[in-house]
Amino acid sequence: MNNPFAYNANQPHFNFTELQSNGHRRHYAVNFPIAFPGLYQESNMAEGEYFEVNTTHKLPLVILIHGWGDHSALPLHVMARNLSKNGMHSFSLYLPFHSRRLPREMKKRSPNFTQEEWFDGYRIAVTDVRQILDWAKTREEIDIDRVAVVGLSLGSFVGSIAMGIDDRINAGVFIVSGGNSAKIQQHSRFAKFRKQYRFEQKDYEDYQKSYEQYLQEIAVKGWENVEPARRVFLIDPLTYSYRLKGRQVLMINAVWDEFIPRETTLDFQKACGECELNWYPTSHATIWLFYPSIVGHINRFLRDSFTQSP
């Protein structure tokens, strides 16, 4: 199977519209053509927002990726403003699953997408992140050797895949995240989610056996050199976690997460080399009750990570 995230990294064409500016930063709406055609033509433009610090020096870039639901982008927009105060540019990406990018046909059925639509969405989202890196390399104000990704829930899946694939990302922060998508589906405590995506037990056992064998093979040969038994393996964060060993990774998770089972969080942490993991006494949806603590921790982690970057 060909690498689904391969694309021609041509000179990126990003369109900017200034939304707001002050003495400290400028805020832009941004769009750009995606790297390859998606299933629906109306989704062939990516969208995001760029928060540029007013500076004459090269500063780090943080790519922010929201979770499921438009509302999940809001805390990351607030975080972007905080990052600018701490001397970091940020680019907040709208996922292909956000309403402003979702095709009309998929909006009617959301979140009941086909396997092909889920795969295409992940493929586009991961490549969007890589195109942002292509663009960042052309910018005088960005230090391309200091780039991080911060993902929330679904965004953490996308961000960790992108980091595993692309070494240009120096640090990753993954909030309410885990690995092994089938295990998440099978053991999630969120009733609607479990009802919609749960496997029959025999199918689940077969899936896990096949996936475990795949993980063992790619650890030796590399994910690009092993044919997956199921294409869905290529959009699972756990597939790329072995490539995060020795790199700067922070996980922030909820003790009573109703979506992400604790075991899948620990699976991912172990696979990426026992990265730093912080638990907050909250649920998946209420993690932002601890916003000041979380943002302070992220700022410290990024500052330390960028100090260690080449």
pLDDT in tens, 9-39: 887 799 999 999 998 899 999 999 999 989 9
* Top-tier CATH class for 15-182+233-308: alpha beta
* pLDDT tens digits, 77-93: 999 999 999 999 999 99
| pLDDT tens-digit series, residues 136-170 | 999 999 999 999 999 999 999 999 999 999 999 99
CA distance linking residue 159 with residue 129, whole number of Å:
8
Query: What integer pLDDT is reported at residue 35 of this predicted model?
Result: 93
pLDDT for residue 229: 96
pLDDT > 80? residue 109: yes
With b meaning 16 or more CB within 10 Å and e meaning fewer, what string describes 164-173? bbbebbbbbb
Q: Tell if the pTM clears 0.85, that is, is over it.
A: yes
User: What confidence score (pLDDT) does residue 281 get?
Assistant: 97
Is pLDDT larger for residue 11 or for residue 241? 241
Q: Give the pLDDT score at 200.
A: 87
